[in-house]
């Protein structure tokens, strides 16, 4: 991505004395497939030794419909071939990070955006992804893969919709390619737990469809309703109707029913 004349001139002005320039400055990089636009309220500093631009004060970077906002953005670049232009390859975001795209909004304390791959990795205490059909939170990291239309939540990952709640070690959300950009499927891995208004279902892995409210669990499945429990290898849980059933796969299933006193 080549920084054009206006961006280079601005960078030279910012570099004088090594001090940031105030009052809503911006730079634009152009080249490759699409441009990267960076702007900030409190100025943009050019650090030639580290090959970075630092944007402070409600800083914003945008590219291909993906908009990143934070207190501070640091854009790292490489010199172009034959000394022509500069290629921004990574943007670090720090403080009140939020990303907006057609698929939804994501929030975190810090983040790293890999420009060429269009991949954003968020970390922090309150990681959250909001979409039209569900809200996903996680403890460790939240990854957003724009080109692949994927979101990956790691560490006590939870998806909440109007139809129920699903928790797992890792959740991978597949986003539709149409204009709505809804979550069409969520794959769950490790210590999967589904809760409805009447029962709790556990398993090792699962697949959840937010549109239909239907979830499939496999691996040491246990469905508990009050004092009653069903055990099997696979089960279907309907978060809309509250009806669950063990799916026969040739293995024997078992139920434990405790009568009321």
- DSSP annotation of 13 reads H
Phi-psi map region of 252: left, alpha, beta (phi>0 left; psi -120 to 50 alpha):
beta
Q: Identify the pLDDT of residue 65.
A: 85
Give the Cα separation of 157 and 30 in Å (integer): 37
What is the Cα 10 distance to its own chain's centre? Answer: 33
State yes or no: pLDDT of 248 exceeds 80. no
Query: pLDDT higher for 242 or 57?
Result: 57
Name, in order, each residue with C-beta under 8 angstroms of 80's C-beta and a sequence gap of 6 or more. 2, 31, 86, 87
Work out the pLDDT band at 83, boundaries 50, 70, 90.
low
Taking only the tens place, the pLDDT of each residue in 104-135 is 899 999 999 998 888 999 999 999 999 888 89
CATH class of the 126-261 domain in this structure: mainly beta
- Give residue 249's pLDDT band: very low, low, confident or very high (50, 70, 90): low
Looking at residue 70, its pLDDT comes to 98
237 class by beta-carbon count within 10 Å (0-12 exposed, 13-18 middle, 19+ buried):
buried
**What phi and psi values does residue 141 have, to the nearest 5 degrees?**
-145, 155
Q: What is the reported pTM? A: 0.81
CB 44 within 8 A of CB 14: yes
- Mean pLDDT over residues 47-59, rounded? 94
Which residue did the predictor score with more confidence, 8 or 254?
254
β strands within the chain, DSSP E = 2-3, 25-30, 36-40, 44-47, 52-63, 66-79, 86-101, 104-114, 119-123, 127-130, 135-138, 141-145, 150-161, 164-175, 183-195, 200-209, 214-225, 228-238, 244-246, 254-256
Checking if the pLDDT of 91 tops 80, the result is yes
pLDDT(186) > 80: yes
Q: pLDDT tens digits for 62-73?
A: 988 889 999 999
Give residue 192's pLDDT.
97
Q: Where are the domains of the chain?
A: 1-124, 126-261
Q: Which are the contacts of 131, defined by CB distance < 8 A and separation ≥ 6? A: 103, 104, 173, 175, 181, 182, 183
| Cβ-Cβ contacts under 8 Å for 230 (sequence gap 6 or more) | 221, 222, 223, 244, 246, 253, 254, 255, 256
Backbone angles phi, psi at 69, to 5 degrees: -125, 145
Tell me the mean pLDDT in the region 31-36.
63
**Do 121 and 112 contact (CB within 8 A), yes or no?**
yes
């Amino acid at each position: 991505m080549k920084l054009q004349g206006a961006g280079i001139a601005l960078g030279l002005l910012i570099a004088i004395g090594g001090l940031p320039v105030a009052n809503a400055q911006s730079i634009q990089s152009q080249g490759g497939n699409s441009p990267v636009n960076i702007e900030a309220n409190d100025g943009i500093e050019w650090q030639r030794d580290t090959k970075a631009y630092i944007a402070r004060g409600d800083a914003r970077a945008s590219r291909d419909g993906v908009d990143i906002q934070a207190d501070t953005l640091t854009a790292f670049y490489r010199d172009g071939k034959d000394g022509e232009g500069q290629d921004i390859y990574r943007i670090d975001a720090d403080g009140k990070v939020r990303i907006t795209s057609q698929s939804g909004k994501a929030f975190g304390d810090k983040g790293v955006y890999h420009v060429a791959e269009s991949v954003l990795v968020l970390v922090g205490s309150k990681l959250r992804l909001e979409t039209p059909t569900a809200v996903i939170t996680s403890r460790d990291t939240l990854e957003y893969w724009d080109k692949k239309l994927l979101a990956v939540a790691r560490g006590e990952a939870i998806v909440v919709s109007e139809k129920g709640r699903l928790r797992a070690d890792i959740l991978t959300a597949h986003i539709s390619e149409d204009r709505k950009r809804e979550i069409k499927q969520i794959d769950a891995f490790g210590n999967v737990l589904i809760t409805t208004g009447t029962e709790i279902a556990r398993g090792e892995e699962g697949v959840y469809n937010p549109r239909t409210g239907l979830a499939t669990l496999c691996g040491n499945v246990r469905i508990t309703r009050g004092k009653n429990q069903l055990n099997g290898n696979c089960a279907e849980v309907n978060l809309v109707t509250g009806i669950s059933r063990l799916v026969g796969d040739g293995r024997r299933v078992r139920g434990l029913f405790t009568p009321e006193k």
